[in-house]
Amino acid sequence: MKITVAVSGINTIDNPGPGAGICRALKESGMEIRAIGLAYDALEPGIYLDHIIDKSYIMPYPSGSKEAFIERIRDIHEKENLDVIISALDAELPIYMDIEPVLVEMGIKMLIPTKEMFRLRDKLKLKELSEKIGVKAPEYISCTSLSDLHKATEKLGFPCMVKGPFYEAFKATSPGEAEGYFIKIAAAWGYPIIAQKFIQGDEYDVIGCGDGKGNDMGVFAIRKMTITKLGKVWNAVSIRNERLIEATKKVVSGLKWRGGFEFEVLMENKTQDIYVLEINPRFPAWVYFPAGCGINLPARMVKLLTGQEFETHSDYKSGKLMIRYTNELVKDISDFEQISTYGESGEVKK
Amino acid sequence: MMDRDKLSVLAISDSGFIFDPVTGHSYTANATGLKILELLKAGKEEDEIKSAIMDEFEASDDEVTVDIQDFVENLKKYFLV
C-alpha cells in the first residue's frame, strides 16, 4: 500500500527544519512512502533532496489567508492524493489547527496538538505547564523594558539567564552584562525577554509522540553535546535516564499530548532534579536520530493515522552518537526555474 | 561519604574512556585512575584500593594516598560518586 505523506519544514539550513529528517525516517521505515515536500521558498534545500523527497510544492505563507492555504492544499491533494500531512514548523501549526476539520473532510489526516496544548507550550506559560505536568520549572520573569529587567534580576540574583522569546539565551553574571544581553536579544528577536533563575546543570532533550489519548508512542532522550549559536542541537548522544523518561511520560499523559514533540529540560547537577524549559510542539530537527536507533516516530505516526499496527516501545541503546554535518548538492538552474516558475518541482526520475 | 551506586551504571572501557549513560557525559582516566575506578566499582575499601595500587604501580604510601584522595575528589566534582 503506497502512502503519500506531505511534510513541511524541509529547510535543512543552519537552523534546520525537521522535514528532511522526517522524510528520511519515513523512507527507511519499510512502508511504501511517497514523500511530498511543502516549502515556502524555492531555495529550501529539501526541494532538491531527490533521494528522500519525491516532489515538492511551494506553499503560501501561513500568516496569509486561510482560504489560500486550503486552496493550495486542495490543489496539491488533487494531484497527489495525500493521505497524511506532517507539519513540522511552529509558525504554521495554528493554521493547521484551524483547518484540520477541512482536511479531514478531504481525507487528509494529521496528528497535531490542540490549541490548548499549543498555548501551554508558550515559554511564558512555563509555570502553568509545570503545574499541569508535575515537573519543576525554573523561576522566571517576563520583561519588556530595562526597568523590568532590573527588578527581575534583583529578585533572581546573579548569575541569571537572559533569554529571547524564540531563540538565544545568555548567562549574565552582573547587571551590566544582563542589560547588554537584553538589548542584543531584543534587537534580534523582539520582546518579551525572559530573565530566568540560573540552575547549575545540563540541558537535555527528549523527543516523543502522543496519540492524543494520554498514551506515548515512544520516547528517546539525548544530551546535547554541541549546539549552534541559536541553541540548536548539532551533535548529541543518546542517554537512558529513567527520571527524564518518567517526566516525559507525564507530559504525554498529563496533557494528553497529540502529535510529535520535543521536551527540553535542564537537569540540576547536584540533585539530578528535572526542570522543564520548553516543549516544542512538533518533531525536532534531529528526528532522524531516534529513527536510526529503532524509534521511528514519524513512521509510527503515519501508521497510527492510516490505521496500521505500530510499535510503542522506547527500547534503544544509550551511547549512540549523532553527528550532524553540512553538505553540498550540484543541481541545474532548470531545477530552480521549475520550482520558482511553476511552484512545484519536477518529478524525480527513478 | 561516597555514593557508589552511580558507578555501577558507568560504561568503562579498557582504554580509560568512561561513559555515563544517565547523563551522557564522557570522561577519560589514565591507567591509575582506571584502576581506582574499577576497584571502587567492585566495592573495595580505601585500604584495599591503596595496597592494590601500590602493588601495581610501585608507588609510595604517601603518593598513593594523595592520588586516591585526589581522584575521588574529582569523581565527586563530576557527581560520579
* ipTM of the complex model: 0.85
**What is the three-class DSSP state of A326?**
coil
Higher-pLDDT residue of A72, B79: A72
Higher-pLDDT residue of B2, B36: B36
The beta-carbon neighbor of B79 closest among A238, A269, A318 is A269
A160: which strand partners?
A172, A197
What pLDDT sits at residue A168? 82
Whether residue A35 contacts residue A24, with contact meaning beta carbons closer than 8 Å, is answered with: no
Average pLDDT score over residue span A211-221: 97
Average pLDDT score over residue span A5-11: 97
pLDDT at A32 over 70: yes
Average pLDDT score over residue span A238-246: 94
Q: Where in chain A is the domain with CATH 3.30.1490.20?
A: 140-197
Taking an 8 Å cut-off on Cβ atoms, the answer to whether A222 and B24 are in contact is yes
Average pLDDT score over residue span A101-117: 96
Residues from chain A that touch B77, judged by Cβ atoms under 8 A, are none
Say yes or no: B19 contacts chain A, CB-CB below 8 A: yes
What pLDDT sits at residue A271? 87
With the C-alpha atoms ordered A89, A279, A293, A84, is the resulting torsion angle positive or negative?
A: negative
pLDDT at A125 over 90: no
pLDDT at A114 over 80: yes
Report the mean per-residue pLDDT for chain A. 94
What pLDDT sits at residue A231? 80
What pLDDT sits at residue A340? 96
Average pLDDT score over residue span A67-91: 97
Compute CA A348 distance to the chain's CA centroid, rounded to the nearest angstrom.
Answer: 27
Compute CA A91 distance to the chain's CA centroid, rounded to the nearest angstrom.
Answer: 11
Amino acid (1-letter code) at residue A293: C
Least confident interval from A18-27, A103-112, A129-138: A129-138
Average pLDDT score over residue span A307-314: 97
Using 50, 70 and 90 to split pLDDT, how confident is the model at A92? Answer: very high
Amino acid (1-letter code) at residue A153: T
- The whole-angstrom separation of Cα A244 and Cα A174 is 32
Amino acid (1-letter code) at residue B23: T
Instruction: For the sheet with A32-39, list strands across it.
Output: A55-58, A32-39, A2-8, A84-86
Of the candidates A148, A154, A146, which has an alpha carbon nearest to the alpha carbon of residue A184?
Answer: A146
Average pLDDT score over residue span A224-250: 92
Angle (deg, nearest 10), helices B61-77 and B31-41: 70
Classify domain A2-111+328-342 by CATH number.
3.40.50.20
What pLDDT sits at residue A12? 92
Using 50, 70 and 90 to split pLDDT, how confident is the model at A145? Answer: very high
Taking an 8 Å cut-off on Cβ atoms, the answer to whether A319 and B21 are in contact is yes
What pLDDT sits at residue A350? 60
Say yes or no: A240 contacts chain B, CB-CB below 8 A: yes
CA distance B37 to chain A (A): 20
pLDDT at A349 over 80: no
Residues from chain B that touch A318, judged by Cβ atoms under 8 A, are 19, 21, 24
Whether residue A23 contacts residue A37, with contact meaning beta carbons closer than 8 Å, is answered with: yes
pLDDT at B40 over 90: yes
Of the candidates A66, A58, A57, A61, which has an alpha carbon nearest to the alpha carbon of residue A34?
Answer: A57
Using 50, 70 and 90 to split pLDDT, how confident is the model at A189? Answer: confident
Angle (deg, nearest 10), helices A297-305 and A19-27: 70
- The whole-angstrom separation of Cα A6 and Cα A19 is 9
Say yes or no: B27 contacts chain A, CB-CB below 8 A: no
What pLDDT sits at residue B1? 63
- The C-alpha angle A174, A177, A178, rounded to 5 degrees, equals 85
- Looking at domain A140-197, its CATH architecture is 2-Layer Sandwich (3.30)
Percentage of residues in chain A with pLDDT exceeding 90? 87
Average pLDDT score over residue span A138-163: 94
Residues from chain B that touch A238, judged by Cβ atoms under 8 A, are 24
Grid coordinates standing for A7?
511534510
Task: Tell me whether residue A307 is exposed, middle or buried, using C-beta atoms within 10 angstroms of its C-beta: 0 to 12, 13 to 18, 19 or more.
Answer: exposed
Taking an 8 Å cut-off on Cβ atoms, the answer to whether A319 and B23 are in contact is no
The beta-carbon neighbor of B11 closest among A223, A269, A319 is A319
Average pLDDT score over residue span A95-104: 97
Amino acid (1-letter code) at residue A22: I
Chain A 255-274, CB below 8 Å of chain B: which residues?
267, 269-270, 272
Say yes or no: B77 contacts chain A, CB-CB below 8 A: no
pLDDT at A167 over 80: no
What pLDDT sits at residue A57? 98
What pLDDT sits at residue A67? 96
- The whole-angstrom separation of Cα A92 and Cα A107 is 20
Peptide bond just before A192 cis, omega within 30 deg: yes
C-beta neighbour count of A336 within 10 angstroms: 15
Say yes or no: A204 contacts chain B, CB-CB below 8 A: yes
Compute CA A24 distance to the chain's CA centroid, rounded to the nearest angstrom.
Answer: 16
Average pLDDT score over residue span A293-305: 98
Q: Give the chain B residue nearest A271 (alpha carbons).
A: B79
Average pLDDT score over residue span B50-55: 92
Percentage of residues in chain A with pLDDT exceeding 70? 99
Taking an 8 Å cut-off on Cβ atoms, the answer to whether A239 and B79 are in contact is no
Q: Where in chain A is the domain with CATH 3.40.50.20?
A: 2-111+328-342
**What is the three-class DSSP state of A57?**
strand
Using 50, 70 and 90 to split pLDDT, how confident is the model at A27? Answer: very high
Peptide bond just before A113 cis, omega within 30 deg: no
Beta pairing, strands A321-323 & B11-12: unpaired
pLDDT at B59 over 90: no
Using 50, 70 and 90 to split pLDDT, how confident is the model at A244? Answer: very high
- The whole-angstrom separation of Cα A12 and Cα A298 is 17
Average pLDDT score over residue span A10-39: 96
pLDDT at A15 over 90: no
* pLDDT digit string, tens, across residues A249-282: 999 999 999 999 999 999 998 888 999 999 999 9
